[in-house]
Structure 1
Amino acid sequence: MAKRALILVEGHRNIGLGYVEAARSLGLHPITLSADPARYDYLAAESIETIRVDTDNLDALIHECSRLAGTYDIAGITGFAGDDESIYATVGRLCRHFDLPGPNPQSVERCCDKFIQRQLLAAAGVPMPAYRLAANASEVEGSAAEIGLPVILKPAVGSGSIGVRLCSTIDEVAEHTTYLFSEKHIWRSSPRILVEEFVQGPHYIAHIMGNEVFGIEATNFDRLPHFVFYTGIFPAPLADEEHKRIADVSLSCLQPLGLGWGPTCIELRWAKLGPVVIEVNPRLGGGPRPIQLAYGVDLVTEHIKLVVGDEGDLRKRHSHIAAWRTLLPDRDGTLDWIRGDDQAAAVSGVAEVKLYVEPKTPIVRKGDYRDCLGYVIAVSPSLAETEIALQRAVDSIDWSITPFRQNLI
């Protein structure tokens, strides 16, 4: 009998290995299709079957999966958005072609275009920031004036906070607009900028599986004007009424966008009048590990079960408090050394320590998820104990960055 295989389109530095391990634990053989397998170090380290293919080319992917079907029983297909969420729409089309469970590709595309997403949610009465779409610098400045400063400028299509910036003055609006419309920013669609009201208040992420809010996470960003995730707590310390209001607003996003199959993560801020939806992502959030530590449920495994048509189990095994912190550089330059990860991992209550970089790596901050040098996760029965363990671990890790030499003329 042919071995059951799980096809993974592209990889993911945070959760890619988790999908491989979960697939194997379910008796599946993971196969990764990638345009550049070298981007994901775990593929070679874990001897994972990997095939180089143009993952932007649906026909090429269909051809490769059809070829694999001659050797394997393809049980399911899924993949990762990374910095290009269109990949997940491609996954949906592959699933449709091979009659396998998967996301609705049209729904994914509606979410990927943040302007269309905003329009559909606004029509359904979902609370959200004021917004305008702009195709040139004049429209951007006019939109910023209409909404009122400060505003957030972001590509209409994009992910990972790439190209997203808070602009507090008209000069900053002009500067970032020039950057986005220049060759320095890589557009994955026609160049259009979404200009949004800056909603202030605590930031939360609702993690949804199917039509159920599985849990809500409290998160925070590093220093503005960029939006790089810095720390998070799961589950968020919320009163029952606050939890219900966030959950209700989050669930109200699904039907207008045609979602409700598989994982969704929704970013919100708690403003003066309550929760406001910042963004809907039709995929699993990039950090399911704290959820697993807190509740004993691995959302990666549960997602794979859906993908291969098996029955899931979202029953919570326990209730702990998990917290995480990303390690972020404060300057550009060459990383001389980074150390202390072993000491951090030895701190009681610390569940995971991960470093992404090696000494002598050039560090060039981009103001998005790619700035992260690594992360630490801690867990315990109480928030106070978890936060103490997390801080001790983070304090154990240190690094040195020598600024790049400036060319003197």
Structure 2
Amino acid sequence: MSYVVIVDPFSTGKLYAPLLNTLGLSCIAIISRPNLPAHFTQDLVPGHFTHVLDWSPEAAHFLDALGVQAVIAGCETAIHLTDRLAKQLGLRGNSPVTSGARRNKYIMQQALEQRGVTHIPTRLVTRPRQIAQALEAVADGRQYVVKPINSAASQGVVFATGREAVAQALGSAGWEQKNDLGETNLGFVLQPFISGPEYVVDMVAFSGQYHIASVCRYTKIRRNGSPVVYDSLDTLDPADEALAPLLAYARQAAAALDVAVGPLHMEIIWAKDGPVMIEAGARLHGGIAPQLFQQVYQPDLLSLAVDSYLGRPAPAGPGYSRQARHGRIGFFWTDRPGTFQGPGNERAAATVPGYGGHRYFVSPGSALPATLDFATCPGLFWLSHDDPDQLDRSAEQLRAFLWGH
């Protein structure tokens, strides 16, 4: 029997085991730490695994004796342990020496700078007493971003203009608070705000060769005083020559982060001087994106990630997947606090051309804050269609049927 270990098989990491099972491989789940939040651990499907083990040195000895074929990072919380365990078991993986470059928002910018890749000048603030020194580099009238170095999505991100606002943002930040991953905030980065369209590039590494699995562009809107309310994420064609500089930059950045095996999810701003990485994570794109990509791209992100972890060669061809259809993820938002009354007209939504599904992040009767970022986004839907113009019409219908806007 051949085994594959999946560390923290949560979020989109839960998609690996069913696919691996169909390939005749048995999966073992390793839970990296005991205090992971319930909204993560509820993704675990015990029936997909022969063993579900809490991490311990004894677990490592058990795996070594059993013999495993690969170690996979299920989600953000798994990055460090996956790298260490793969090395300990003598398996292909990313170096544990550089794990921080694939998880810590300060270290990853330093890694780009050290390799001469375009980066964002970043100040690290790990103690409140360091705020005064950090403010010395802040220019009045310029906009900045303050965000936790080990959070996920846009949780804890604050935009501030000028020294006084930056001082307030740092002073009121969630020092030593738990983030959505159940991790304690280790500190904050202070960065100048970089403007421009935002893209997401998902790559899969095959011994340092990077196959582009998907390219998407975010549309964010200003609502409720926040500039980062999500409106949509649209898939793009990697073969589009206009995207060539973006993809070339993404590959350079991936090399700087020392990604040798598995997927890399990278967020990039295409600024006036060219692309620059905002942050990256050595795991699958989160949410429902991998399922949407299965309808849009050939080969798709999930199957490519499995091939990489299993030591299979990169696909022959141009180094990127083919776009077979157009896809979109649309997001709901709430303009004022209230209470979620329950699902909208789901029967009508199912008749909308290209409808793939929808998901609410809240349950009936629960409180709804005003939407400020992805952490406060109440739900989403997804679409795919041969006609890109149909996505606009269908998105408008779905928002009306499912959310009332």
Q: What's the TM-score once normalised by structure 2's chain length?
A: 0.82
Q: Secondary structure at the match of 1:101?
A: coil
Seen in structure 2, the aligned counterparts of structure 1 residues 370 and 6 have a Cα distance that, compared at 3 Å, is farther
Match of 2:86 in 1: 95
Distance 1:370 1:140, change over 3 A: same
One-letter amino acid of the counterpart of residue 197, structure 1? P
Distance in 1, Cα, partners of 2:344 & 2:332? 12
How large is the Cα RMSD of the aligned pairs? 3.2
What does residue 209 of structure 1 align with?
Answer: 204
Residue 12 of structure 1 is matched in structure 2 by 10
Q: Distance in 1 between matches of 2:334 and 2:16?
A: 28
What is the DSSP-based 3-state SS (H/G/I as helix, E as strand, rest coil) of the residue aligned with 2:154?
Answer: coil
Change (3 A) 1:388 1:130: same
**Aligned ranges 1:139-150 → 2 under 5 Å:** 139-145=133-139, 149-150=142-143
For the Cα contact (< 8 Å) 1:179–1:185, is it kept in 2? no
In structure 2, the partner of 1:272 is: 272
Q: Which residue of 2 aligns with 1:379?
A: 384
Tell me the equivalent position of 1:124.
115
Shift of the 8–102 alpha-carbon distance from structure 1 to 2, 3 Å rule, reads same
Correspondence 1:291 to 2:290: no
- Aligned-pair identity in percent equals 20
Name stretches of at least 5 consecutive residues in structure 1 with no aligned partner. 401-409
Aligned partner letter, 1:250: A
Query: Post-superposition shift, 1:311?
Result: 4.4
Q: Would you say the 8 A contact 1:164–1:226 is kept in 2?
A: no
Select the residue among 384, 388, 395 that pairs with 2:393. 388
Shift, 1:397, TM fit: 0.3
SS of 2:335's partner is coil
Could you say which residue in structure 2 is the equivalent of 1:303? 305
8 Å CA contact retained: 2:201, 2:267: yes
Give the Cα separation in 1 of the matches to 2:375 and 2:346.
20
1:23 aligns with 2:28: no
Q: How far apart, CA to CA, are the structure 1 residues paired with 2:19 and 2:151? A: 28
Question: For structure 2, which runs of at least 5 residues remain unmatched after alignment?
Answer: none
Segment of structure 1 superposing worse, 204-213 or 348-357: 348-357
Q: Structure 2: which amino acid aligns with 1:120?
A: A
| Contact 1:37 1:43 (C-alpha < 8 Å) held by counterparts | no
> For 1:143 and 1:238, how far apart are their aligned partners in 2?
41
Offset, 1:304 = 2.0
Structure 1 residue 218: deviation in Å?
A: 0.8
Match of 1:78 in 2: 72
Contact in 1 for aligned 2:204/2:308 (Cα 8 Å): no
- Counterpart position of 1:231: 232
Alignment partner, residue 156 of structure 2: 163
- Going from structure 1 to structure 2, the CA distance change for 1:51 and 1:395 (only over 3 Å counts) comes to farther
Equivalent residue runs for 1:258-407 within 5 Å: 258-286=258-286, 287-311=289-313, 313=315, 316=321, 319-364=324-369, 367-398=372-403
Q: Deviations over 1:322-341 (max 9, x none)?
A: 11112333344442323333
Aligned residues of 2:10 and 2:44 also touching (Cα < 8 A):
no
**Aligned to 2:44, what secondary structure does the other structure show?**
helix
Give the distance between the partners of 1:38 and 1:194, measured in 2 at CA: 27
CA drift at 1:262: 2.0
Taking structure 1 as reference, are residues 361 and 78 closer, same or farther at Cα in structure 2, changes over 3 Å only? Answer: farther
**Count of residue pairs the alignment pairs up:** 385
SS of equivalent residue, structure 2 residue 398: helix
Q: Deviations over 1:183-221 (max 9, x none)?
A: 556595784332111111111112211123333211123
* 2:214 partner SS: strand
Aligned position for 2:44 = 43
1:272, distance to aligned residue in structure 2 (A): 1.6
Structure 1 residues 351 and 366: alpha-carbon distance in aligned structure 2, compared to 1, 3 A threshold: closer
How far off its partner does 1:318 sit? Answer: 5.5
- TM-score, normalised with respect to structure 1: 0.81
Deviation at 1:95, TM superposition (A): 1.3
Alpha carbons of structure 1 residues 143 and 367: separation in structure 2 relative to 1, 3 Å: farther
Letter in 1 for 2:121: A
| 271-280 or 89-98: bigger deviation | 271-280
Between the aligned partners of 1:149 and 1:250, the Cα distance in structure 2 is: 27
> Any conservation in 2 of the 1:126–1:252 contact (CA below 8 Å)?
yes
Cα separation, partners in 2 of 1:382 and 1:339, compared to 1, 3 Å: same
Give the partner amino acid of 1:132. Answer: R
- For residue 74 of structure 1, give the secondary structure of its aligned residue in structure 2: coil
Distance 2:374 2:385 in 1: 27
Shift of 1:24: 2.4
Determine the C-alpha separation between the residues in 2 that align with 1:329 and 1:50.
42
Counterpart AA for 2:212: V
Structure 2 counterpart of 1:138, one-letter code = A
Report the secondary structure of 2:353's partner residue: coil
Q: In structure 1, what is the Cα distance between the partners aligned to 2:69 and 2:383?
A: 35
